[in-house]
Amino acid sequence: MAMNPETLLGSLPIRIEQNWQERDSILYALGVGSEDLDFVYEKGLKALPTIAVVLGYPGFIWQNPEWNVDWKKVLHGEQSVIIHKPFPAKGQFIGETRITKLIDKGAEKGAIAMVERRIVGDDGTHYADVIATIFLRGDGGFGGSPDGAPVPHKVPIERAPDLTVDMPTAKNCAMIYRLSGDLNPLHIDPDVAQAGGFERPILHGLATYGVVGRALLSALADNDPSRVRQMDVRFSRPVEPGETIRTDIWVESDGKAAFQSTSIERNVTVLSNGYFEFTA
């Protein structure tokens, strides 16, 4: 049965209310490899900006039977977080997720869904917008427009990077990260990983996003979360837990930088077309 685009686009926002505690901020920070006391010790605890990806997270929504999406062929393509106000380490948060656009690339090429989540506090404070590009590889050819896909940020790889940061990942990092809400067995069960074409469980893409977020926060914003404004990436290949992620950074202007991340061990790009905006 074909995907139902009208039902998909006409769905009510998915509203998630979350009672976020300091323990949750610490667990998230440990899941992306932080050992900085600012982010893992309750005394003066700060929240990493990239916790936006887990706040108000509605789970794997693509199994909704009313949508008829071929959910086994869904891939996370791109991720953007726009920060309007720094997150407190604890609080009441509300995430409202909606599908805002469907792009039809054709029957053989699949479709693209734009998914946006607005994160607010229980007092109405608008903290962040989380925007994801999702590839629906089995759902193209539904008669929609092929136009409107986001244009990835160009990284100036023709010149040497201005900064390079290496961040190791622990062999158990996926086991820890999943406790922040993404329980996909692909990241812990060897049988599921092998069925998906991987030799072993892989790291969550959004965990890689968080590790690289730490690198950018340290190199460009002096580890001050209040200076971060935006972080965009395209997911290229998965990271295997235990690998070291090298992030090359090109400063483009005051408060704006491009970046690209690779697995040192396999010499493959894992995040591309990166864009980071911060208060200089």
Residues annotated as part of the active site: 182, 187, 202, 205
Residue with tokens 């990983």: 193
Among the listed residues 12, 206, 3, the one whose alpha carbon sits nearest the alpha carbon of residue 97: 12
Q: How far apart are CA 33 and CA 27, in angstroms?
A: 10
Helices within the chain (DSSP H only):
5-10, 22-31, 37-40, 173-177, 190-195, 205-221
Among the listed residues 235, 238, 236, 219, the one whose alpha carbon sits nearest the alpha carbon of residue 227: 219
Q: Which residues contact 219 (CB under 8 A, 6 or more apart)?
A: 163, 165, 247, 249
Specify whether the CB–CB gap between 51 and 39 falls below 8 A. Answer: no
The gap between the terminal CA atoms of the chain, to the nearest Å, is 51
